[in-house]
Amino acid sequence: MAHVHSHGSAGPAAPRTTFLLVITLVSALLLTLAGLWLLWPNAGDVPDRVPAKAEGTSFVDVTVAGPADPATGSIPVELPSGEVSRMQSPGPSVPLADGDRITAVDISQVSQPGVDPLVFMDYQRELPIALLALAYAAVVLLVARWRGLAAMAGLGMAFVVILGFTMPALLAGESAIGVALVTSSLVMFVTLYLAHGLSARTSTALLGTLVGLGLTALLASWASGAAQITGTTDEASAFLPSSAPGADLRGIALCGIVLAGMGVLNDVTITQASAVWELRGVAPAASRSELFTRAMRIGRDHIASTVYTIAFAYVGATLPLLMMVWLVDQSPATALSSGEIAEEVVRTLVGSIGLVLAIPVTTAIATLTVPGPADPAAGSPTYEPASDPELMAPVSEAWAARPASEAPAT
């Protein structure tokens, strides 16, 4: 047993290690900003936004006021003014009930006489979604407090980057792999430091995340070409070429594969960095190789759980598509290699490989960054050399301090 006189969270990294981390991450940030400048699309290259409604029509909020007419399918609706009008039935696939709040298109100025003036567009979902978002924010603030607020702020800034840079750049035909790397790097710099603070521990996780994203991008570039991922398997393939001729559907699919791995990579890298720091705090006598071995035990458990988490997430998101494929009488291999499914399979496998590789990389970086055994610069406690491989210092202290009545009989 190791007899440690004090224990707790590990101290700060050594000044030389901190300097190397700063130099590395500042270089990565400068490269990211340079890429942002080079890939920022010219206003003339970004296609104009398509109007949401045809000329002569307008949107109106209505409330379903009764059942549809069995003969014509016409549905009575109440306008905001209190007047009653008629809306064309959206068909049996969209069941409507009394009191449903609907956004309809008013075509009275362009329709023929005798045609219902309103056409169903969609349900009004703003209120339930807003309530759900407020509940989410309240739960995060209640449990995570200020750190949760910082994480939500980082998430908001990430969407600003995606909406303000990523989408316009892809629509303008900029390099998809470059846009993916710049986006993911910039988002990770913002979200990690906002949520977890400016520290060597966070910087270690960020560096591991950037390495993982780089590996994911390389693998995605190869896989999307080898598996012929064309990005033409959904409704966007019919809409984007006509509205954004400069957009590369294959490149957009590649960018999506890289961006899909951001959140999970962030999760595992910050966990691994924290694990190494906490292990150093409770086991100051451990060598760096021992820390790496113990942290990788945690990492292997994280790999086992996160890999099937990614798979289940994609299954849930594409369940209707999977059911359609299941209904077709074909072999599982043929089904998995069909265009619609193959893209999801490649995305899952590439993201999972990037995740698995990021864990040992982050663990190794953290092991080299965390204060070493009896490092004076880190204020490490004094200790006697450990012989127990489990390094159960706290247990040893509790055993030595037990009352005499609990001592074993001799």
Name the residue with higher pLDDT: 393 or 217: 217
pLDDT(385) > 50: no
**Number of other residues whose CB lies within 10 A of the CB of residue 237:** 15
Amino acid 379: pLDDT: 46
Name the residue with higher pLDDT: 310 or 139: 139
Percentage of the chain exceeding pLDDT 70: 84
Q: How high does pLDDT run on average in the chain?
A: 81
pLDDT(10) > 70: no
Q: Give the position of tokens 């070409």.
A: 225
Over range 321-341, report the average pLDDT.
72
Helices (H), 107-199: 126-161, 167-171, 176-196
- pLDDT tens-digit readout, 339-358: 677 777 888 888 888 888 99
Over range 123-136, report the average pLDDT.
92
CA distance 13 to 202: 12
Q: Which residues are registered as beta bridge partners of 64?
A: 77
pLDDT(263) > 90: no
pLDDT classification of 114: cutoffs 50, 70, 90: confident
Amino acid 232: pLDDT: 67
Residue 300 contacts by C-beta under 8 Å, 6 or more apart in sequence? Answer: none
pLDDT(281) > 90: no
- Both structure tokens of 408: 């074993």
β-pairing, 118-123 vs 101-106, is antiparallel
Phi, psi of 206 (to 5 degrees): -65, -45
Amino acid 354: pLDDT: 87
* CA distances (Å), origin 210, targets 170, 213, 248, 317, 361: 21, 5, 25, 27, 10
pLDDT(382) > 60: no
Phi, psi of 233 (to 5 degrees): -105, 5
Please say whether the beta carbons of 319 and 312 come within 8 A. no
The answer to whether the pTM exceeds 0.85 is: no
Q: At CA 195, angle to CA 127 and CA 287, rounded to 5?
A: 145
CA distance 322 to 316: 9
pLDDT classification of 38: cutoffs 50, 70, 90: very high
pLDDT classification of 323: cutoffs 50, 70, 90: confident
**Number of other residues whose CB lies within 10 A of the CB of residue 110:** 11
Name the residue with higher pLDDT: 3 or 231: 231
Name the residue with higher pLDDT: 372 or 165: 165
Name the residue with higher pLDDT: 361 or 333: 361
